[in-house]
Chains A and B, each alone.
Chain A
């Protein structure tokens, strides 16, 4: 059985959190370039230009593109034939986060307790998601998720009678209510189905897809296009100042659900969508 030392996981996480904050991924850059070609409002164009200028500075000077360097989301796809050795996997991930945030001069934004609110000063705890998959590799995906967009996210347990129209209404209303608060142009992650918690997880995982890549199911790919069109009719525009590009992409992930249920979750991501991955 293939063995992998958890120290390698810690090192990879430490590197990925920094890369995510310094280097905007190519898929997001392409989506922003596309937005520049589509945006009709002059003020929207000005904002998009600032966003591009900003990520260029971040990349060149190795500084974070946004001061909110995020909560570290760490997704682990662990091959079922892989043996992780040398210690506790989750402890190693948190060690990697602490190291990466400290070495990279990233902001420590995590607290010990939601009511006591004392900063842990090492940006832990990380949010760790573990999936067991076939194979003997470990895929690590890191997303540095900002608080402003996360705060604008919503989940609703709709009645089945609401149907697609009801789901669509809720999703578009959520984006409209987020407006400038979530730093548009946005990437909108949507989960439909599952149960209360799986639905939220679907929405979060939808954000990890390459920006703009459609759902493999053509029916759902068409619904994603429909949502994007409705969202871009809102007029919110870049940073909410008015314009024709409110979202860069809408990604929907779906799952079967109970006969009583139609759960819908909307996880909103800002234009500084910082995600990196590696396979060990």
Chain B
């Protein structure tokens, strides 16, 4: 498992280097969006309006930060659970989004879309919002301000720490990692990678 540094915007070549289990440190601009912002972005796409940011090579981070205290760039900013974005993710990958960051399992359609469009799903440590905020150098609301914490922010990050769970080749690190540690007599076995059709 490698330790990779990537800089935004993300190229197809960069995505191809990332494998499930790799540590990926991101530097550059990333965009925050969670449930409500995703819903709106898809509504924008449906009526032919451009997205609030250029999706080509973009990185989306599923986060709703706390308000910054005076003197802070951003409040605590750890990942939220990703499956709630599953419904919207394939359409955004089709638009050229290359990396999405959250925590937790993804649906089979998302895993297939990652392979189809050449993108990767990364996670950062849930509940480590105060620690992760230290990698954020700038934060600016760029769209849907009325959504409060759910607005789209452009964050400038330096070495934002993630681990790749689902890569562009069907690799699944939750399955690989859990399979290594599950006991033979466990009552439930790890959730398999993409279920065969």
A interface residue numbers (CB < 8 A to B): 40-41, 43, 47, 50-51, 53-55, 57-58, 61-69, 105-109, 117, 119, 121, 146-148, 151, 168-169, 172-173, 176, 179-181, 183, 230, 233-237, 239-244, 270-272
Known: A41-B180, A63-B69, A235-B186. A107 touches B126 (CB 8 A): no
Report which of B36, B83, B127, B134 forms a contact with A271, defined as CB distance below 8 A.
Answer: B127
Q: Is B9 an interface residue (CB 8 A)?
A: no
> 5 smallest A-B Cβ distances: which pairs?
A242-B177, A235-B182, A181-B104, A235-B181, A176-B188
Among listed B44-52, B60-68, B91-99, interface-contacting one? B60-68
Interface string of B166-189 (1 = CB under 8 A from A): 000000011011111111011110
Which residue of the partner chain A has the closest CB to B190? A235
Interface size on B, residues (CB 8 A): 49
Task: Output the least CB separation between B127 and chain A (Å).
Answer: 4
Distance between Cα atoms of A58 and B104 in the complex (Å): 23
Cβ-closest chain B residue relative to A146: B127
Cβ-defined contact, A242 with B67, below 8 A: no
Given contacts A54-B127, A107-B67, A148-B126, contact A63 B75 (CB under 8 A): yes
Interface centre among B68, B76, B183, B187 (most CB of A within 10 A): B76
Q: Using A50-B128, A67-B75 as known contacts, say yes or no to A105 and B181 having CB atoms under 8 A apart.
A: no
Residues of B within 8 A of A151 (CB): 81
Q: Is B77 an interface residue, CB under 8 A from the partner?
A: yes
**How many residue pairs between the two chains, A and B, have CB atoms under 8 Å in the bound complex?**
182
The answer to whether B163 has its CB under 8 Å from any CB of chain A is yes
Q: A65-B129, A173-B188 are in contact. Are A234 and B65 (CB under 8 A)?
A: no
Question: 18 A-B pairs, CB-CB below 8 angstroms?
Answer: A40-B181, A41-B181, A43-B163, A63-B72, A63-B133, A66-B78, A67-B65, A107-B75, A119-B148, A172-B187, A180-B104, A180-B123, A181-B104, A183-B103, A230-B186, A230-B187, A235-B180, A239-B103
B149 contacts which chain A residues (CB < 8 A)? 67, 107-109, 119
Are A66 and B76 in touch, CB under 8 angstroms? yes
> Chain B nearest CB: distance from A54 CB in Å?
4
Contact B181 A51 (CB under 8 A): no
Alpha-carbon gap, A47 to B173, bound state (A): 15
CB–CB B127/A64 < 8 A = no
Known: A107-B75, A181-B83. A243 touches B65 (CB 8 A): no
Task: Check: B130 CB closer than 8 A to any chain A CB.
Answer: yes
Q: Is the CB of A241 within 8 A of B148?
A: no
